[in-house]
Structure 1
Amino acid sequence: MKRDMRKWLEELQAAPVKKAMPVLSFPAVQLLGISVKELISDSDRQAEGMRLVAQRTDAAAAVSLMDLSVEAECFGSAIRVSDREVPTVVGRIVEDEEGAKALEVPRVGSARSGLYVEAIMKAVELIDDRPVFAGAIGPFSLAARLLDVTEIMMECYDEPDMVHMVMEKATSFLTEYCKAYREAGANGIVLAEPVTGLLSPALAEEFSAPYVKRLVDAVQDDSFVIIYHNCGNNTIQMIDSILDTGAAAYHFGNAIDMAQMLARIPAGTVAMGNVDPAGEFCHGTPESIRRATLQVMENCCPYPNFVISSGCDIPPMSKWENIDAFFGAVQEYYECRSAQGVSR
């Protein structure tokens, strides 16, 4: 359903009680009783999984699979698939400048990209009470999968022209991919750029921010917004270039102090984070995630533009009792604050 997403963000920020917006999709496998391998191969199951998650939780929006192997697979990368883990990219497909020149930009619809766009088209028919976001990888993080994450860190210094060449092609594909999601009815994209968080601020400004900005400028409008995600531990130091991307909202991981980050975010810009997805959602207990969630909210809710979330994509086998406890803690925080306000 088409929405005024700028207004949605404004209302989300202005609300005295803000709904949580975790990056919650893969744990749908437990609700569906299927494997991750089955989920990533079936658009009907993806859409139904999103519906079941929306039915069970009072999240601010529905978010589709954050499967960061899809786009690299379109370029020809091999992926490793399992029944219980998110797919991963295996090896590199660009070895040198000649390989970068020869790299072909795939069409949207190749490999599993068409299936994922189709899943969003079906999901927006099933979910009409909240925005529906698709998931996509960011340009530098895609290039890192094509060149290898370790190798690209060195090649930013040793072979910058080659890296830029791959970045151009990655950005070209991702722009068309995001446009396809927009045409399918998505209200926006959660754009994951985690590998950028490993860079120095100077390298992030050169190799990530301009390409993300190009994508944002090409696809973002009042009805379709980009939420930029980066779970690296250097994000506070590189926040100026991150904000230069022009994304409508920002999402950060638990490697940083979220309150310190919020001090650097403009007051009118929504920023989300950052309860530990692995340590708490997956391996914690209902009580430990309750404490962690309340602590993040205590530290960060004094900033009106803060929205509580997971620090990154919640792993497939995360316990639903922990996920439920997260939402319970959010409700508890606001109820407690309301009671304290009445008592004063």
Structure 2
Amino acid sequence: MDMQAWLHEQVTAEKRRALPILSFPSIQLLGITVRELISDSDLQAKGMYEVAKRCPASAAVSMMDLSVEAECFGSQIRVSDDEVPTVVGSVVGSMEDAQALPVPQVGAGRTGLYVEAISKALKLITDRPVFAGVIGPYSLAGRLMDMTQIMMNCYDEPEMVHATLEKATAFILSYIQAYKAVGAHGVVIAEPAAGLLSPDLCEEFSSPYVKQIVDAVQDDQFLVIYHNCGNAAARMIPQLLDIGASGYHFGNAVSMEEVLEQMPGDVLTMGNLDPVSVFRNGTPEQVRESTLELLKRCTPHKNFLISSGCDIPPASSWENIDAFFAAVEEFYQ
């Protein structure tokens, strides 16, 4: 698949297709639990396929499960039947811990299973790109260290943070290369924790590490989409653009118009309907109204592609999801 042609189409088409982060609600289509979905590559591939059959999205995306990589490093995770897995506790509390932290091999924990899922999904979904999903370096380091603690360590123990980031980056790079090797068309790097940083701290502790990954894996046939749903993301656009990703995805904590005004017109920029208040807790009519309003405000920017602000929760109703795609179709008609 010519990914440069796909990318060009997204920023030039008069009638644009949505690209929400939509994967976990597949459990409803398959009649399974989140626990079952995250444990079975066949179910993940089938879930992506069922979503693609039902939804006219411009690409298929895998789950934004930000516990996978931390689990490989030894973090404890909490799993339930109906919620996205979360990380519990920390495994890095000192410089000694950071230095002794082994970098796992791809295949550890559930990473091998997730790579298998993308390989299987590629055989089922042939009419659009298939994107894998990984966590960003700073967000992974925050889960290894504890999110509150890493914020303090950026000031008090910066060397420890950098030591952890180097190992997180090395693993994520290998993980993405494994997705690329099985034929994925790109990857969404979720770096939400960076949205809590100041622009200067982002420039020190997040963007250079993400850029290192982007420079190593991105080419004409493999794109990187950068996701940041933090409330400070709109204040660090120059730092984020330095990463050099093919596309940028923003959460609902920021004004999409404010972001778009700072983005170059040829850089694909996506967001940002609230995944909880709109998709999870709204009604179909509220979803329609919110979708049409965001499109009306942002479509004058030709590089805008409407999306959810983050991963749509597993229990979000399919009536709401269908209403979202219907509203996009209605707008462009």
Measured against the shorter chain, the TM-score band is over 0.9
Cα distance in 2 for residues equivalent to 1:232 and 1:288: 24
1:206 corresponds to which residue? Answer: 204
Amino acid at match of 2:278: E
1:136 corresponds to which residue? Answer: 134
1:341 corresponds to which residue? Answer: none
| 2:309 is equivalent to residue 311 of structure 1 | yes
Cα distance in 2 for residues equivalent to 1:282 and 1:329: 17
Question: Among 176, 179, 185, which residue is 1:178 paired with?
Answer: 176
Q: What is the total number of aligned residue pairs between the two structures?
A: 333
1:191 corresponds to which residue? Answer: 189
Deviation at 1:15, TM superposition (A): 0.6
Cα distance in 2 for residues equivalent to 1:304 and 1:115: 37
Amino acid at match of 1:150: T
Aligned partner of residue 234 in structure 2, secondary structure: coil
Deviation at 1:221, TM superposition (A): 0.6
Cα distance in 2 for residues equivalent to 1:125 and 1:324: 25
Amino acid at match of 1:65: M
Q: TM-score, normalised by structure 1?
A: 0.96
Cα distance in 1 for residues equivalent to 2:110 and 2:118: 13
Q: TM-score, normalised by structure 2?
A: 0.99
Amino acid at match of 2:324: F
| 2:276 is equivalent to residue 278 of structure 1 | yes
| 2:183 is equivalent to residue 163 of structure 1 | no
2:26 corresponds to which residue? Answer: 28
Deviations 1:300-330 (A, max 9, x none): 0000000000000000000000000000110
Question: Among 72, 81, 85, which residue is 2:79 paired with?
Answer: 81
1:288 corresponds to which residue? Answer: 286
1:339 corresponds to which residue? Answer: none
Cα distance in 1 for residues equivalent to 2:309 and 2:262: 18
Deviations 1:171-196 (A, max 9, x none): 00000000000011110001100000
1:226 corresponds to which residue? Answer: 224
Aligned partner of residue 189 in structure 1, secondary structure: strand
Question: Among 151, 166, 176, which residue is 1:153 paired with?
Answer: 151
Cα distance in 1 for residues equivalent to 2:213 and 2:17: 28
Amino acid at match of 1:20: A
Cα distance in 2 for residues equivalent to 1:147 and 1:6: 38
2:215 corresponds to which residue? Answer: 217
Aligned partner of residue 236 in structure 1, secondary structure: helix
Cα distance in 2 for residues equivalent to 1:235 and 1:242: 8
Amino acid at match of 2:302: P
Aligned partner of residue 109 in structure 2, secondary structure: coil
Question: Among 43, 46, 51, which residue is 2:44 paired with?
Answer: 46
For structure 2, which runs of at least 5 residues remain unmatched after alignment? none
Deviation at 1:43, TM superposition (A): 0.1
2:246 corresponds to which residue? Answer: 248
Deviations 1:198-248 (A, max 9, x none): 011110010000000000001111100100000001011111111100100
Deviations 1:147-173 (A, max 9, x none): 000000000000000000000000000
Cα distance in 2 for residues equivalent to 1:204 and 1:127: 36
Aligned partner of residue 134 in structure 1, secondary structure: strand
2:13 corresponds to which residue? Answer: 15
Question: Among 259, 262, 274, which residue is 2:260 paired with?
Answer: 262
Cα distance in 2 for residues equivalent to 1:236 and 1:191: 18
In the TM superposition, structure 1's runs of 4+ consecutive aligned residues that sit over 3 Å from their partners are none
Deviation at 1:104, TM superposition (A): 0.5
Deviations 1:33-73 (A, max 9, x none): 00000000000000000000000000000001110000000
Aligned partner of residue 263 in structure 1, secondary structure: helix
Cα distance in 1 for residues equivalent to 2:320 and 2:183: 31
Amino acid at match of 1:252: F
Cα distance in 2 for residues equivalent to 1:69 and 1:292: 30
Amino acid at match of 1:115: L
Cα distance in 1 for residues equivalent to 2:296 and 2:199: 29
Cα distance in 2 for residues equivalent to 1:143 and 1:26: 24
Cα distance in 2 for residues equivalent to 1:185 and 1:279: 35
Cα distance in 2 for residues equivalent to 1:252 and 1:262: 10
Cα distance in 2 for residues equivalent to 1:160 and 1:278: 34
| 2:68 is equivalent to residue 70 of structure 1 | yes
Deviation at 1:270, TM superposition (A): 0.5
Cα distance in 1 for residues equivalent to 2:9 and 2:285: 31
Amino acid at match of 1:326: F
1:338 corresponds to which residue? Answer: none
Cα distance in 2 for residues equivalent to 1:11 and 1:109: 35
Which segment drifts farther, 289-298 or 111-120?
289-298
